[in-house]
Amino acid sequence: MINNLDDNVNEKELLEIINGVENDEIEEIQPFDPEKISIDTKTITMEACLRRLEQKTIILNPDFQRNEVWTDDKKSRLIESLILKIPLPMFYVSADENNIFYVVDGLQRLSTIRDFILGKNYLENNKANLKGQGFKLSNLEFWGKNFNDKIFNDLPIHIYNRILETEFTFTVINPGTPEDVKRNIFKRINTGGEPLTQQEIRHALYTGPSTIFLQTLSHSKEFLSATDNSVKSSRMMDRELILRALAFTIRDLNSYPKNNDMDTFLSDSMRIINVFNKNELTNQDVKFKLSINNEELIETNLDLIEQKFKISMRRAKDLFGEHAFRKSYPGKRRTPINKGLFEVWCTLLSNINQKQFDLLKKNKKQFMNEYSELLNDYNFIFVISRDSQKYISVKSRYDRLNNLLLKFIND
């Protein structure tokens, strides 16, 4: 039986929200001033590109691969394109104040060029005699008879020079461009017909302690157990889910923007992790750190944040079992992980002490009865689903679940 059903709402639609695949990421378009966009299109030679790759002033985050690691044949076809003088698609990067490029689109192409012309052994050992001894070409479409099984140093001099004289086109988002504008620009990039996800964009723009930390937590046994390995790692869905929980572990609930801008809230949370855990800060980092309202910060120590996160995962598994973070409960068909529930329960369960959690488990039957009623409440369903990114919804779900929890953790 569905409680509080509004006469104007279709019951079938509500049942789909309760039982169906999660759809709580309805995006609200955030306007920005186009005058603040600072973009350059640059022609960069292969020599300059290789120099930057050696210097690590082009950052190829090896974890940002969208689960599409190229095969040797595909890599070889890219090198064959260079031999045939076929222009490669544009590269998109974000530049910082030190003119370091963070690659958002073009990682696989640049990785292929690096691994063929420079070679992994050279980059790891920095010995000149290893340079040019990268992977062997294979299954070439036009030049197979000539160059299959060849490394870069084996190529004839005219082909060798042809590759080194290649020029690339880079679109560079300059450091003066506001962060929300950067993300909006990269969101519009279409890679092979599939736009970048918001988390993939954040991952590329905010490389550092935050990206490493999210990767670590996404692979933790506690997270995988609590979610029953059901959150896909493709397109970084698992990391965005974790980030939503961490954002409210790091920052006070009231810091959530009144304009409902979840993207900026999550992005700034990654930046907060970075600036409080980096050894060296750029001027941009310093400016951002000074702009933070320290009264809204709860925790920035990664060891403590990790500890709290893992405690919440273990407790959620213990309390809810296979229905952890879902809009379902025992006796009902299990539904997908819900982002709003994940975000709230991670925070609430990590903030109570062991004695309180033991009391909660002691009263588990009554708690689950009242919790199941809440999960059937029409208004609550919307604050954890279609309206989940609204400020009023964020506050409402925290208040309602916290009030429920308080009833069972006090003597």
d(CA 308, CA 244): 14
Residue 151: which residues within 8 A CB-CB, separation 6 or more?
Answer: 116, 119, 132, 133, 134, 135, 136, 137
Residue 27: which residues within 8 A CB-CB, separation 6 or more?
Answer: 263
**pLDDT score for 283:** 84
Produce one character per residue of 207-237: b if its CB has 16 or more CB atoms within 10 Å, e if not.
Answer: bbbbbbbbbebbeeebbeebbbeebeeebbb
Q: How many CB atoms lie within 10 A of CB 160?
A: 15
Q: How many CB atoms lie within 10 A of CB 133?
A: 17
309 and 246 in contact (C-beta within 8 Å)? yes
Closest to 367 in 3D by CA, of 323, 321, 409, 311: 409
135 and 51 in contact (C-beta within 8 Å)? no
> Which amino acid, one-letter code, is at 199?
Q
> Which amino acid, one-letter code, is at 382?
F
**pLDDT score for 196:** 77
As averages over each run of 10 residues, the pLDDT of the chain (411 residues) reads 38 46 46 72 95 92 58 93 93 91 89 94 88 94 91 95 96 88 78 72 90 96 96 89 96 94 95 93 89 94 97 97 94 93 97 96 95 94 91 96 94 67
Q: Which residue has the tokens 């140093």?
A: 153
**pLDDT score for 45:** 95
Residue 77: its H or E element: helix 72-83
386 and 13 in contact (C-beta within 8 Å)? no
Residue 233: which residues within 8 A CB-CB, separation 6 or more?
Answer: 67, 218, 239
**pLDDT score for 282:** 84
The token pair at 110 is 């640049």
d(CA 251, CA 301): 12
134 and 119 in contact (C-beta within 8 Å)? yes
d(CA 373, CA 379): 12
Question: Phi then psi for 372, rounded to 5 degrees?
Answer: -65, -35
Is the four-CA dihedral 343, 30, 187, 174 of positive or negative sign?
negative
**pLDDT score for 68:** 52
pTM: 0.77
The token pair at 189 is 């990039």
**pLDDT score for 37:** 77
**pLDDT score for 367:** 96
204 and 169 in contact (C-beta within 8 Å)? no
Distance set, CA 80 to CA 152, 165, 167, 193, 323 (Å): 12, 14, 15, 23, 51
